[in-house]
Structure 1
Amino acid sequence: MKLLLIRHGQTPGNVLGQLDTAHPGPGLTELGVRQAEAMARSLAHEPIGALYSSTLVRTRMTAAPLGRLHNLDVKVLEGVQEIEAGALEMLTDHESIRRYLGTVFSWAAGELDRRMPAGPDGHEFFGRFDAAIAQVAERAADREEAAAAVVSHGAAIRTWAGSRARDVDHEFAARHILANTGIVALEGDPDSGWKLIHWDGSPVGGLALADPTAEDPAGRGARP
C-alpha cells in the first residue's frame, strides 16, 4: 500500500515558534487554511481510499478539504498525535527546541530509553505510532485500498519515518525538515517494511504558501 504522511497546516504556535503539543491544540491560521486547501487540490488524482487525522484540532482541520474532495470521512486515529513536549511545553527558546528535537531524533537512532523531560520515552512513542499505522495498513488490506493518507505532525512523522523507512535514517530525518502540509510518502506494509517514495519538505502548493518569518520548531531548517 501507499502511505501518505501529511503534516498539518500552519498554526499560531508555529508562527510563534512554540513547542505546542498538548490536546486539543490550536486551529489553523488563515495561511494554514489555504495550505490545507492547496494540499487537497494537489492530491486530487491520488487514489486515496481512507483518510485519517490525529486527535488534535489542527490535523482534523487540515484533513477536511481533502476529505471533501475525495468524498471521504476523516477518521480520527489515536496514536499519531504529536510527540508530547512534557516540561518543554509552550517554550520557544532555542535550547528547549534543541533539547526536544535532540530527544526525538535520538529515538529514531535507537536510543529508546531516553525520555523527554517529564514526558514520554521512545518506547512509548513508537508503540503508539506503530500500532496506529498497523491499523491503517490492516484496513487498507481488508478493503483493497491503494493508498491511505494520515494527517499528523512534523516531529512525529520525521521521527517515525527516520526509523521505519528502510532507505533513510535518523540523520536524514534530522536534516530534512517538514514544513506545514509537507508530505512523506512511503510504500509497503508493517510486515515487509516501508520504502520512501518521496519527502516533500516544502508546503504543498509551493513556496507561495510558505511563511519565512515563522519560527516553526519543526520546520524552517530547525536542527537538533
Structure 2
Amino acid sequence: MRLILIRHGETQWNQQRRIQGGGSDIGLSQVGRKQAKSLALLLKEMEVGAIYSSPLKRALDTARVIADSHQLAVQVESDLREIEAGELEGMAIDDLGTNFSQFLVQWRQGEGLERLPGGESLADLGNRVWSAIQHIIGKHGQEVVVVVSHYFVILTTICRALGLPLSHIERVRIQVGSMSILDFRDKSPCLVSLGDTCHLREG
C-alpha cells in the first residue's frame, strides 16, 4: 500500500505566521488554492483508490480539489485534525518565546509528552492519528490512498510508522502544499518522499 500524505495549502494564518491547531478552521488563501490545483495536477495520473481528509476547512478544501480530478468523494476522518493548540491557538509564532519561553524549552527537550497549554501533547496526537491511519491501511489493502491533513499530524504519522521517537519532529520541517509518501510492504513501512514541493515550483 502507498500512503500519500499531503499538507494542506496555505492560509492567511500561514502567511501571518500564526499558530493553527485543531481549533482554527481557516480557509485557503489564493496561494493555497493554487497549491491545491498544483497537487491535483501532480496526482491526476495516479490510480488513487481513496482520498481522506481532516474535517478542518484548509485540509478539506485542498482534498476536494484533488478528489475532483479523480471523481472520488472525500472521506472525512475527525482524528486527522491538527493538534489541539489550546492557549496557543492563533498566537503569532514570533511571540511564543516571550509568552511561553519555559514551555518551549520543555517542549523541545521532551519526548512528546508535554501538553500544549490547554491542548494536546504530541503523544496524544500520535495515538489518535495512528489509530485512524491503521484503520485506513486495513481498509484499503494494496491501493494508493491520499490523506490530506496537517503539519504535526503528518510528522507524528511518519515517526510512528518508522518507529522514531517523537522528539525527532523538532528536526524536520514540511511546507504547506507538500507531499510525503509512505510505502507499506509486508507491514514494514518505508519513507519514499518527505515534504516534496517540486510541483509548487514548476511553471
Q: Does 1:187 align with 2:183?
A: yes
Determine which structure has the larger helix proportion and give its number.
2
Q: Find the residue that maps to 1:204 and give its secondary structure.
A: helix
Q: How does 1:41-52 map to 2 (within 5 A)?
A: 41-52=41-52
Question: In structure 2, what is the equivalent of residue 205 of structure 1?
Answer: 200
* Distance (whole Å) between structure 1 residues aligned to residue 199 and residue 167 of structure 2: 23
Match of 2:172 in 1: 176
Cα distance between partner residues in 2 of 1:105 and 1:84: 20
Contact 1:54/1:152 (8 A) holds in 2: yes
Query: What does 1:1-224 correspond to in 2, within 5 Å?
Result: 1-23=1-23, 25-94=25-94, 96=96, 103=107, 106=110, 111-141=111-141, 145-166=142-163, 173-188=169-184, 192-202=187-197, 204-206=199-201
Q: Aligned AA for 1:160?
A: T
Per-residue deviation at 1:165? 2.1
Question: For 1:203 and 1:58, how far apart are their aligned partners in 2?
Answer: 21
Matched residue type, 1:199: L
> Is the alpha carbon distance of 1:149 and 1:62 closer, same or farther for their aligned partners in structure 2, counting shifts above 3 Å?
same
Which moves more between the two structures, 27-36 or 191-200? 191-200
Question: Per-residue deviation at 1:197?
Answer: 0.6
Instruction: Work out the number of aligned pairs and report it.
Output: 199
What TM-score do the two structures reach when normalised by structure 2? 0.85
Amino acid at match of 1:175: R
Q: Take 1:104 and 1:136, find their aligned partners in 2: how far apart are those partners?
A: 31
Distance 1:77 1:133 in 2: 10
Instruction: Output the amino acid matched with 2:107.
Output: T
2:60 partner letter: R
RMSD: 2.7
Counterpart secondary structure, 1:75: strand
Say whether the 8 Å CA contact 1:18–1:91 is kept in structure 2.
Answer: yes
Structure 1 contact 6–151 (Cα < 8 Å) conserved: yes
1: CA distance, partners of 2:200 / 2:145: 20
> Cα–Cα, structure 1 residues 112 and 50, in superposed 2: closer, same or farther, change >3 Å?
same
Is there any run of 5+ residues in structure 2 with no aligned partner, and where?
none
- C-alpha deviation, 1:13, in angstroms: 0.7
Q: Deviations over 1:82-125 (max 9, x none)?
A: 1111111111143527856973894xxxx243211111123421
TM-score normalised by structure 1 residue count = 0.78
Distance in 2, Cα, partners of 1:150 & 1:100: 29
In structure 1, the gaps of 5 or more residues are: 209-224
SS at the partner of 1:118?
coil
